[in-house]
Amino acid sequence: MTERFGGDSRVVQLCPDHARHRAADPNDQDPTLAHMLDGRAAKLASSDYHPVAIDDITERLTRLFAQNLHPAAKVSGLRRLAGGASKEQFLFTLDAPCIEGSEQLVVRMDPTDGVLETSRQREFEILEAMQGVVPVPRPRFLDHEGTWLGASGMITSFEQGSTKPPQAGAGVSGLGTGFTPQWRERLGPQFLRLMAAIHRFDFRAAGLRHFAIPDADPFQAARQRVNLWARVWREGAYAPIPGFAVVESWLRSNLPAARELVLVHGDFRTGNYLFDGDSGEITAILDWELAHVGDYHEDLAWSLVEIFGARDEQGRYLCSNLMTVEDFIGGYERETGRIVDRDTLRFYRILLSWSVVAMASSGLTAAANRHNHQDILLTWLSMVTHPLLDEITRLMLEEKAA
């Protein structure tokens, strides 16, 4: 039975299946993520976090490589990388007798708190699994416990490329990247092909140790994502938003059945891939910390979150500032042979916009507690909340897609 509320021409689908609602067990969580969130609660009483000093991290890295690679290993030229709303990132050069010449590497480390607690162990594992599947940095060293780095972290190869065309503008975290039509033509098809390649990856055969497969029932994939973001909101929200509870009720009442589980990147959008400034070839897909096994509609919906897009010269909305929504969905269907269900897509668009609100609010709490190296970025990014709430409201008030 489908129930509706709303006046005028605005209609909200509500509680189409109460049995499904009852099945929305709030305790059904991805075990690794639940463990990470348990750890976050313990950190809340920590004192102020201050960025790691260059000399300090150089010394830690030198000790790490001296004891794990070669006693004469040398770390030099370390500098902080821009961006990184959730991790401290540094680029450095490693010299050691056992490697040919020198190597440029990147270290990513957890601050006390940020927009979300994620696992370096899991990120490292998925980077290993993606070698040869899609272009990604090579994982080189994992310090999950922070034994060497002082905080959970990992070291990867440094990949050449840029997140924006030469001379183009971009906001923080890749939002608002300026592409010309020529750049869109170069990058758009690659964007689709790479997403399809990730979704073709045989995660079952890969035997990923830190990734749960939500296949207990067809609704588990969606249910665990709702539970994750509801928990992030409940434990990290900076200020209450009454509409949040209505959205949560709607999501729990409208869980879609997953047609097919895939490896979901979780943050697949412009700003999270590098490309060559001359050839336009995508050289690396970055930021895998939100990767998980789930419904393929999730990555599609993430790319459609409006703050990640822009309008073209004709005023048309372009997802990830690359292509129109219909070109994107049609292209994905052609590339993968899968059918994109508009209702499921709408569910995930609402869920993911809601998740960004939860993360933004959580980031604001981290900034208020002075628990991050980028309090200024977290307070700035928290202002994405308002366009997102507008997007959620519009989507919920839309007629259910035919």
Partner 1 sequence: MVPDTPLRLAAVQKALEDIVAPVLPPDADFAREQLALIVRSLALVRKQIPQEYAFHVHDAHDFSAFGSEVAACLPDAHPVRGELTQAIEDVRAIAPPVVPDRTALEQAVRALRGAIETAVQQAGEDAATLRAIGPVVLEHTRRQTLLERAWVADTGFDRDPASLPLPETILYSAGETPR
Binding site for partner 1 (CB under 8 A): 3, 5-7, 12, 14-15, 18, 21, 50-51, 53-54, 80, 171, 175-176, 238-246, 248-250, 253, 306-307, 309, 311, 317, 361, 364, 367-368, 370, 373-376, 378-380, 382-387, 389-393, 396-397
Half-sphere CA count of 88, side-chain side, radius 13 A: 24
Taking the alpha carbons at both ends of the chain, their separation in whole angstroms is 16
CB of 3 to partner 1, least distance (A): 7
Sorted by sequence, the CB contacts under 8 Å of residue 6 that are 6+ apart come out as 12, 397
Residue number, 13 or 119, with CB nearest to partner 1: 13
Give the residue ranges of DSSP H helices in 237-341.
Answer: 242-253, 297-304, 325-336
Pick between residue 21 and residue 338 the one whose CB is nearest to partner 1: 21
Provide the minimum distance between the beta carbon of 206 and partner 1 in the complex, in angstroms, as a whole number: 37
* Closer by beta carbon to partner 1, 212 or else 241: 241
Cβ-based nearer residue to partner 1, 172 or 213: 172
- Helix%, strand%, coil% for the chain, nearest 5: 45, 15, 40
**Shortest distance in whole angstroms from residue 49 CB to partner 1:** 9
Phi and psi torsions of 106, nearest 5°? -125, 135
- Dist. CA 260–CA 150, nearest whole Å: 40
**Nearest to partner 1 of 31, 51 (CB atom):** 51
Cβ closer to partner 1: 7 or 101? 7
**Region of residue 381 (phi > 0: left; psi between -120 and 50: alpha; otherwise: beta):** alpha
Chain centre distance of CA 28: 21
Nearer to partner 1, 129 or 307 (CB): 307
Report in angstroms how near the CB of residue 97 gets to partner 1 at its nearest: 32
Q: How far is the CB of 376 from partner 1 (least distance, A)?
A: 4
C-beta of 21 vs 70, nearer to partner 1: 21
- The least CB distance from residue 306 to partner 1, in Å, is 5
Q: What is the C-alpha to C-alpha distance for residues 273 and 81, in angstroms, rounded to an integer?
A: 15
**Residue closest to 107 by CA, chosen among 133, 132, 134, 84:** 84
Nearer to partner 1, 127 or 396 (CB): 396
Q: Which is nearer to partner 1, 292 or 346 (CB)?
A: 346
Q: How far is the CB of 354 from partner 1 (least distance, A)?
A: 12
Beta bridge partners of 5: 12
Q: What stretch of H or E contains 375?
A: helix 375-381
Q: How far is the CB of 318 from partner 1 (least distance, A)?
A: 11
Indicate the burial class of 115 (C-beta count within 10 angstroms; 0-12, 13-18, 19 or more): buried
CA distance linking residue 220 with residue 294, whole number of Å = 9
CB 5 → partner 1: shortest distance, Å? 4
The strand pairing partners of 232, in sequence order, are none
CA-to-CA dists, residue 19 to 15, 72, 226, 343, angstroms: 9, 64, 17, 19
CA separation for the pair 392, 161 (Å, rounded): 34
Around 378, how many Cα atoms within 13 Å sit in the side-chain half-sphere? 26
Residue 99 CB, nearest approach to partner 1 (Å): 29
Which pair of structure tokens corresponds to residue 213? 């497969």
